[in-house]
Amino acid sequence: MKASIHPQWFEEAKVSCACGNSFTVGATIPEIQVEVCYNCHPFYTGQMKYVDTAGRVDAFRTKQSQAKEKRVTKTEKRRLKRERKIQKELERPETLEELRKTGKKH
């Protein structure tokens, strides 16, 4: 086995929940923050608890709508590429004298 490839192991890693509960476990990071733990999770407590899924859904929809707005179709990409190519051709000097005046090498 190779030496020095494994992460550092913390025997007493502290886990802190949003409900205020905290406990220790073994982990590769010294401190872990969680939103739901065994003390407040509806499956373990048997109580119905509102979890903020609406906020997550809204955030996802916002992200998706922004991605749609920025999308460029393949046809549009081809048109833009063609326009850039034409513009580049127009900027090139047509005669040898123009080339010498600009001092650029093409």
pLDDT (0 to 100) of residue 41:
83
The answer to pTM > 0.85 is no
Question: Among 13, 8, 38, 7, which Cα is nearest to 26's?
Answer: 13
Please give the domain boundaries of the chain with CATH numbers for all domains. 7-62 (4.10.80.400)
pLDDT (0 to 100) of residue 101:
83
Q: Which residue has the higher pLDDT, 10 or 60?
A: 10
Q: Cβ distance 40 to 22 under 8 Å?
A: no
Residue 46 pLDDT > 70, yes or no?
yes
pLDDT band at 40 (very low <50, low <70, confident <90, very high): confident
